[in-house]
Amino acid sequence: MRVAVINETSAAAKNADILKALEGRGLKVFNLGNTGVEGEAPLQYIHTGLMSALLLHLGAVDFVVGGCGTGLGYLNSVLQYPGVSCGHILSPLDAWLFARINAGNCVSLALNQGYGWAGDVNLKMIFDALFTPETASGYPAHRAEPQRNSREMLKQISTLTHRPFVEILKSLPAEVTQPALCYPAFRPVAFAAAGKEPELLTVLNQI
């Protein structure tokens, strides 16, 4: 599984904790957001939401680990875009249920609020519960089929209620697209996947 880690500036200090907690899981991890390195351009959750959704749309990654101070800003940002199923994950139980019931492609973590002693341990336990072979298995077992039907219906709803990504990018203001789509670590990953959508690639080249 290919996983993007996209931190916004308020959570940059937690980037190393996230990467450490993801180790040893057989994941291909792309570290594409703020990492806490001095002098890097700050990304707000407005930017990281767009970055995350575009990577998922292009199929550049299978899953995104994002978040912000509370996790709520990033959650609202990324859910403005088509094809995103994101969970607000505070505990290992949240992750356990989200994986089995919702089987989404994105999580939003609270990386400042409540992130105290043993916060890194909680992250590891969250990922233990999240990245599981039992994804989409349903819970409880007798609810598996209606839960699967709901997931499929949500995908249809997302397609119906959102504009195509090319139109979205053309309409967004530069203060959103420029910091997000020109971020150095992000740009080559997105562009490598955009080749299969020539019109979208043209738009990206104009930003």
Q: pTM score > 0.85 for this model?
A: yes
Q: Where are the domains of the chain?
A: 2-205
Q: What gap in Å lies between CA 94 and CA 176, rounded to an integer?
A: 30
Q: How confident is the model at residue 16 (pLDDT cuts 50, 70, 90)?
A: very high
pLDDT of residue 63: 98
Determine the CATH number of domain 2-205: 3.40.1400.10
pLDDT of residue 30: 98
- 3-class secondary structure for 90-134? CCHHHHHHHHHHHCCCEEEEECCCCCCCCHHHHHHHHHHHHCCCC
**pLDDT tens for residues 142-198?**
999 999 999 999 999 999 999 999 999 999 999 999 999 999 999 999 999 999 999
Q: How confident is the model at residue 82 (pLDDT cuts 50, 70, 90)?
A: very high
Torsion sign (Cα): 33, 54, 102, 154: positive
